A = this chain, B = another copy of it.
Amino acid sequence: MGMVGGGKDAFIGGIHRMAANLDGEIELVCGAFSSSPEKSKASGESLYLPANRVYGSFEEMIQKEKQLPEGERMDFVSIVTPNHMHFPPAKMALENGFHVVCDKPMTLNLKEAKELRDLVKKTGLLFCLTHNYTGYPMVKEARHMIKDGKLGKIRKIVVEYPQGWLATKVENKQADWRTDPARSGIAGCMGDIGTHAENLAEYITGLKITEMCADLTTFVEGRRLDDDGNVLLRFENGAKGVLHASQISVGEENGLNIRVYGETGGLKWRQEEPNTLIATWLDKSAQNLRPGVGQNYESTKRHIRVPPPGHPEGYLEAFASLYRNFAITLRSRLKGENPDPIYLDFPSADDGVRGMVFIETVVASSNSKEKWLKVQE
């Protein structure tokens, strides 16, 4: 793995590295950790990389690595930069034969996203978008229960992502680019975390959102992008829903959560206590579903690292599962084997386009007097 971005004072780069390390399936071999060559060098050194594999730019990294012999050069690029810097390295990596792992949202805008998706298709290379929350075991369990019809036809979906860290005019590296249209895109809160909520709802239910009615707000004076949004949803099968996300909900940490109600059952899951999935039923007691207790689906089991129940797995493990699935799939491919479908389970370029469609529609809807906007490419 070669990394683009993720220098010393970045938050998400370290997360990606721990996620990649955890299972011992991936080795960081090179990186272009910063747009400043000095910072990149310093970061590489603190990561115990040899100096000749630490590059001053992603362009240099891709070019130089390409010249290394197979087996020695990086197998894939991991892109952990702000949104506006996803597309250029992803495009160049694909065009030079490198597989790609990329942070979300996929690109700065829908146009780039479609171009990237086309390139993935054309090159046939692997692409993984790190919608990390789909890596939790109980998210897998929820998805498979619904697929299996345990809840009957889905009627209602409520998905929320409240945070509070931008309730005031925060100024730091993390806040700065997220509230800057040039680096973040047309949406703030909705791009940063609304897309996680959208992705989670569609992933768990297997249903597409078809129409939206949104009300986005910028509460903090002087901020240039939305910091809160409430959205009514309609799904392809007639289900109704609500999505709301916020970065001004004081005291909320990373409160992503989802509730799904079908004709015969319901499910509730909260990211902050990810190892419990509450199942509710018509005329029966609610159950606390847990990893390793009772009958989990096969996919759930393969996403559990600590077999005895009650040893909590968290955010890094869920994140690591994306990397692990990607690595196992890539290894199968390098060996010429058919990948195990259970490990083919990581967010794709299609999911990335879907996220960008969400962003563009939610912003358009908020600006529109029309009640319902269709969600379409």
Report which A residues bind B (CB closer than 8 A): 11, 14-15, 17-18, 21-24, 28, 47-48, 151, 155-156, 158, 160, 162-165, 167-168, 213, 215, 217, 219, 228, 230, 232, 234, 240-242, 244, 246, 248-255, 259, 261-266, 271-275, 278-290, 292-294, 305-317, 368-371
Contact across chains for B287 and A155 when beta carbons are under 8 A apart: no
Q: Which residues of B contact A264 (CB under 8 A)?
A: 250
Q: Once the chains bind, are A312 and B314 in contact (CB under 8 Å)?
A: yes
Residue pair A244, B242 in contact (C-beta under 8 Å): yes
Query: Chain B residues near A165 (CB, 8 Å)?
Result: 308
Q: Are B310 and A316 in contact (CB under 8 A)?
A: no
* A250 / chain B contacts, CB cutoff of 8 Å: 151, 261-266, 280-282
Residues from chain B with a CB closer than 8 A to the CB of A251 are 261, 265-266, 279-282, 286
Among B17, B262, B309, B370, contact of A253 (Cβ-Cβ < 8 Å): B309
Q: Which residues of B contact A282 (CB under 8 A)?
A: 164, 167-168, 250-251
Given the known A-B contacts A158-B244, A287-B285, are A308 and B228 also in contact in the complex, defined by CB atoms under 8 Å? no
Contact call B317/A311, Cβ cutoff below 8 A: no
In the bound complex, CA of A79 to CA of B316 (Å): 25
User: How far is B280's CA from A246's CA once the two chains are assembled, in angstroms?
Assistant: 15
Question: Least Cβ distance of A198 to chain B in Å?
Answer: 16
Most B Cβ at <10 Å: residue of A155, A282, A287: A155
Enumerate chain B residues within 8 angstroms of A24, measured Cβ to Cβ: 17-18, 21, 28, 47-48
Q: List 25 A-B contacts (CB under 8 A).
A: A18-B22, A21-B21, A21-B23, A24-B28, A156-B219, A164-B261, A167-B282, A168-B263, A168-B282, A213-B213, A215-B232, A215-B234, A230-B241, A232-B232, A242-B242, A248-B261, A250-B263, A253-B308, A272-B275, A273-B312, A286-B293, A305-B316, A306-B316, A314-B316, A314-B317
The CA of A289 and the CA of B287, in the complex, are separated in Å by 9
